[in-house]
Chain A
């Protein structure tokens, strides 16, 4: 598992024109000491987020772009930037499909 640095990174501002997303108002989720559970009513399933996924979910409490999230994760977990961006894009896409995140204009 990737180790996070102790301090949380301050968010950079979103590049102009980049789509931002945030937690859907009707998203149903619960926090446990080991991660976050998100309910997908349409599928009748629950998705578990690991430590990094839970951190991204936390960041998405406010409108935020994929590159802003990737910057935070790269900084906090000291991982390769290209891979982080790809992983964050895929993760956000999945949560958007589930209806847990919504795009913000």
Chain B
């Protein structure tokens, strides 16, 4: 068995607040970057392997209002779409699947009541249920799982929770390092590797990427099957949307200012995939993705 039998999936992650795509650092200080549907369509055309939508304030307010955005997106993109944030009941899951999601990412509700994972798997199949784990490193080097985008502690050990989630029947794990999230300092490779070695299901790593080299490292040493990328891709896209300032709510000062982000140069999906291929890491070639309606 070779080190990486999988074709690595590059998954743009779109954090959504109200009608807007937002991005913060360690889940805080959310800036409005644009309309999620615009970014989603661009990433589809550019060869994204899947898309991930997360309603970042849903758990806080006990709501999930992504369905309309999911529905508009799903009419235009024909790659898998995972939706997370505030999904608490089987009916919540059914509603986003009905709107066009293929998979759902569960965190808070799964932590509060692990049996919920089992019920969701029974209703919708294992491959539909992704467990999202937000991991923060403790001073002693262990990792604690958090919920509500890094706001709430759970006292759960990340690795024990990952194994439990797989045993409950989840089809995939999305692990995000809160310490690295939005910083551009690179993935937490050790965290990713320990999870991937502990569970028999695919693992997607998120939090910290700003260069193709970070992606290559977490694939090779972290042994994950996919990467979730946000700032790294989004900041390269912003230029295209500077003209569109018709936002309904949110902190748009960053967009209006016309400033560049200091950490993220903005890298395209094509550049990332080319870099991976050059390093012998298998991935669907971006050139084959073609164009929408092609």
Q: Do A and B bind each other?
A: no
